[in-house]
Amino acid sequence: MRIGPHSARRRAAGAIAALLCLAAPLALGSGSAGASARLHPAAQASPGEAERIAGYWSPTRMRTARPLDSPLGGGPQATASFLPIPDSSVPPYVVNGRLFVKQGRGKGFCSATAIASASRRLVLTAAHCVNSGPRSRHGNSVWSRFVEFVPAFDQGVAPFGAFIARRNAVFAPRQWVSSGNPNFDIGAILVAPNANGAPLTDVVGGVGIAVARGRRQEYETFGYPGGVKRLQGCRSPYIGDDSLTYRIPGPPTVAIRCHWGPGASGGAWLIENGTLIGGLTSYGKRGDSVHTFGPYFSQRNVGRLIRGM
């Protein structure tokens, strides 16, 4: 978990930043509702990049990886409200997986989901798993590298192989990259085929994206929190909105009664019997051992982010 802002230029930003646990710190300032274009790293793909990524994420590194958003030096233990999924290799669970990344000097994992799209290679996660958001008063952010998605990851085993994303194939909304706005904490990744040459959704399938379906949903949520070695799940209805996010641009975030810990960031909130993703895990709050919050899926955030993918 990341706690406390590096900078907060407005009262609303400071109020939210003081409470956020899973998401990167806020530094809201110049970001506006009109700045909606998605961003990606300026770096171009390089020869041998895929091989370097595959070589880096060895089975040992994957087994011993820590959650990307773990606090330095440990921190308070989360009160779990999730249960293990006995077999993550079958629908609707198989679309969920661990996302391994390097971000600046750190490395670790988040959770992510295979999405049904024309490209057959789209993965959805939290924006803070692909970009740190502002890390200084000047708004500098860090893009994730060595990105690898492993669907149905279970006790160190990758039953369907690994799907690698080159550096220029990760995307986040401008509102997240420039301002750390939690209403836009959604990241998109385009992955290459696995070692057998098979595209992601040809192997594990994918879920559709529910855009503007209404907030009052029954969610089945998934992720890989803390030191668990297999996929976990938790069911919850819509509980309400995070009223603090009314003060900043974008659709306010949604609360569920599932308490996810670090590592579950980016994990899917599925609806309609597991056929659609209607949200994802973004952040928790200090002193709240019951709820988790995530962006409400609308055309303003996820719709613009994944257009054409």
Summarize pLDDT for 241-282 with one digit per residue, the tens.
999 999 999 999 999 999 999 999 999 999 999 999 999 999
What number is the average pLDDT over the span 25-44?
Answer: 59
The whole-number pLDDT of residue 23 equals 46
**Start-to-end C-alpha separation, the chain:** 30
Mean pLDDT of the chain: 86
Q: Of 183, 185, 61, whose CA–CA distance to 131 is shortest?
A: 185
The pLDDT-based confidence of 132 (bands split at 50, 70, 90) is: very high
pLDDT tens for 74-113 read 334 445 678 999 999 999 999 999 999 999 989 999 999 9
The whole-number pLDDT of residue 137 equals 72
The Cα 210–Cα 222 span in angstroms is: 16
The pLDDT-based confidence of 71 (bands split at 50, 70, 90) is: low
Q: Of 282, 291, 285, whose CA–CA distance to 184 is shortest?
A: 282
The whole-number pLDDT of residue 10 equals 36
The whole-number pLDDT of residue 120 equals 98
The pLDDT-based confidence of 32 (bands split at 50, 70, 90) is: very low
Order of strands across the sheet that contains 187-190: 38-39, 170-173, 187-190, 122-125, 106-115, 96-103, 144-151, 163-165
Other CB atoms within 10 A of residue 73 CB: 5
The pLDDT-based confidence of 25 (bands split at 50, 70, 90) is: very low
Angle 167-117-161 from CA coordinates, rounded to 5°: 60
Look at residue 20 and tell me whether its pLDDT is greater than 70.
no
**Which has the minimum average pLDDT: 46-50, 150-154, 162-166, 167-171?**
46-50
More confident residue, 76 or 145: 145
The whole-number pLDDT of residue 24 equals 43
The Cα 281–Cα 137 span in angstroms is: 26
Burial (0-12, 13-18, 19+ Cβ within 10 Å), 90: exposed
CB 15 within 8 A of CB 247: yes
The whole-number pLDDT of residue 6 equals 30
How far CA 207 is from CA of 201, 210, 274, in Å, comes to 9, 9, 7
Look at residue 8 and tell me whether its pLDDT is greater than 80.
no
pTM over 0.95: no
Domains of the chain (ranges plus CATH)?
A: 11-305 (2.40.10.10)
The residue with tokens 């988790």 is: 292
The whole-number pLDDT of residue 152 equals 98
The Cα 98–Cα 80 span in angstroms is: 19
H helices within the chain, ranges in order? 11-17, 49-56, 59-64, 174-179, 200-204, 304-305
Residue 172: phi, psi to the nearest 5?
Answer: -150, 155
The Cα 150–Cα 167 span in angstroms is: 17
- Share of residues in the chain with pLDDT > 90 (%): 74
The whole-number pLDDT of residue 79 equals 54
Angle 14-103-25 from CA coordinates, rounded to 5°: 5
More confident residue, 155 or 71: 155
